Amino acid sequence: MSATNLVREKLVQATQVLQELDLDLWLLMARESDVIGDPSLPLVVGTSVTWESAFLITRTGEHTAIVGTGDVENIRQTGAWEHVVGYVEGVSRPLLQALERYDPRTIALNYSRDDVLADGLTHGLYLLLQDLLASTPYWSRVVSGEDVARRVRSRKSPEEQRRLRQAVATTLEIWDALRAWLRPGLTEREIAAFMHRQVRERGLETAWDPHYCPTVTAGPDSPVGHVGPTDIAIQRGQLLAIDFGVRQEDYCSDLQRTFYFLAEGETAAPEPVLRAFDLVSGAIQAAAEALRPGVMGWEVDQVAREIFARAGAEEWKFGLGHQVGRAVHDGGCLLGPRWERYGRRPYDRVEPDQVYTLELGVSVPGYGRVSLEEEVIVHASGCEFLAPPQREPILIG
């Protein structure tokens, strides 16, 4: 499917969301969007702009793009925008004319306190709009568009789901190649370099900053967190945990897998490692069973935390799961605790067609860390794993 059809899918979703929220108009503003662009633009516009631009999406399905003359043909070539208006001297006059034609009761703008991917309107453009609309009835009709941006981004269209599944499938191929190549004595840097080669050979990019994608945690002395690989070498009798994803056709994957390097004479991982796997994978499975439309994000996170609490294990210091899409952390509802730093996102309710990670880990003294991360898509009656979930350590002889 072409990029044009993908944008059309998202514009149809945007119209539906405006109707659900009883909002008349979603107004996206942009300029030099290759430098600093609203995260919603790639979804519903499909290309970048240079001059100040306005994209008006209405609840009736009629949409208008107002762009500089140099951007007109670029917008038309997307094939997704029926009405494209070009200007030379300034955006204000055609924008006011469009607002007068639509006469919306409400105008949703992309600003948000909690969700960075719904906070795409820069402060400067906000002030510009405020000045432009101050003498009109329209500034008093402005509301936050964060719920519009969240829902349009979160609800993965059929084409988005296809791309996400493909990114996961490619990631599994790279995991398989890594498993066949791994051996004791490799450093974290060497492991990361191997995975980078796999990504480049496929003409792809890593899902996030390649400095720490993959994040490689080798043995008990490796630093934990968003950190680049070190010269620590994996040894027999140790755990190797890797956090990794690819960006394919603009959509991301995000999976974690944990390997155990058998010590001399071992044919299986030792009991402390197996207990850690049972705890982590069991908590993920329980969370997956709780993940269904209508539940709040914090409720899913709490299911897993209670399992850790009953086991006397130290709980993790981050949310259980985030959404995945064009960004590896794709905004919207968060499967996380009700902590200040997450704002209202854990109170959002899960919806069908959202894609989440389920991720957590635990340290095993003397061995390293068991860290697992799975991707799931929410359906009407529950969720589906996009890859077979890891339930036991991957053994390296």
Please say whether the beta carbons of 65 and 30 come within 8 A. Answer: no
Range with lowest mean pLDDT among 137-146, 217-226, 328-337, 374-383: 217-226
Q: What pLDDT is recorded for position 387?
A: 98
Each residue's pLDDT tens digit, 231-285: 999 999 999 999 999 999 999 999 999 999 999 999 999 999 999 999 999 999 9
Q: What pLDDT is recorded for position 368?
A: 98
For CATH 3.40.350.10, list the domain ranges present in the chain.
3-154
d(CA 345, CA 377): 18
Beta strand 239-244 with 255-261: parallel, antiparallel or unpaired? antiparallel
d(CA 300, CA 305): 9
Q: How many CB atoms lie within 10 A of CB 110?
A: 26
Q: Which residue has the tokens 């389920």?
A: 358
Q: What pLDDT is recorded for position 1?
A: 52
d(CA 20, CA 139): 22
Q: What pLDDT is recorded for position 4?
A: 79
Range with lowest mean pLDDT among 34-38, 143-147, 153-157, 165-169: 34-38
Each residue's pLDDT tens digit, 315-363: 899 999 999 999 999 999 999 999 999 999 999 999 999 999 999 999 9
Confidence of residue 224 (pLDDT cuts 50, 70, 90): confident
Q: What percent of the chain has pLDDT over 90?
A: 96
Q: What percent of the chain has pLDDT over 70?
A: 99
Residues 6+ apart with CB under 8 A from 263: 236, 237
- pTM flag (> 0.85): yes
Each residue's pLDDT tens digit, 15-67: 999 999 999 999 999 999 999 999 999 999 999 999 999 999 999 999 999 99
CA distances from 2 to 9, 129, 159, 160, 163 (A): 11, 33, 9, 11, 12
d(CA 103, CA 87): 21
Q: Does 3.40.350.10 match the CATH number of domain 3-154?
A: yes
Beta strand 215-218 with 239-244: parallel, antiparallel or unpaired? antiparallel
Mean pLDDT of 294-300: 98
For CATH 3.90.230.10, list the domain ranges present in the chain.
158-396
Please say whether the beta carbons of 325 and 337 come within 8 A. Answer: no
Return the structure tokens found at 224: 């934990």
Q: What pLDDT is recorded for position 226?
A: 84
Confidence of residue 149 (pLDDT cuts 50, 70, 90): very high
Name the residue among 108, 322, 38, 289 with its Cα closest to residue 207: 322
Phi first, then psi, for residue 132 (nearest 5°) are -65, -40
Give me the amino acid identity at 302. Q
Fold entry, domain 158-396: Creatine Amidinohydrolase (3.90.230)
| DSSP letter for each residue of 177-245 | HHHHH--TT-BHHHHHHHHHHHHHHTT-EESS-TTSSSEEEESTTS--SS----SPBP-TT-EEEEEE-
Please say whether the beta carbons of 183 and 259 come within 8 A. Answer: no
DSSP state for residue 333 in the 8-state scheme? S
d(CA 326, CA 45): 14
Mean pLDDT of 375-396: 97
Query: To which H or E segment does residue 255 belong?
Result: strand 255-261
Name the residue among 239, 229, 242, 246 with its Cα closest to residue 173: 246
Return the structure tokens found at 268: 């299986």
3-state SS class at 375: strand
What value does the mean pLDDT of the chain take?
Answer: 96
d(CA 222, CA 244): 17
Please say whether the beta carbons of 309 and 315 come within 8 A. Answer: yes
3-state SS class at 2: coil
CA distances from 183 to 73, 218, 240 (A): 54, 12, 11
Confidence of residue 3 (pLDDT cuts 50, 70, 90): confident
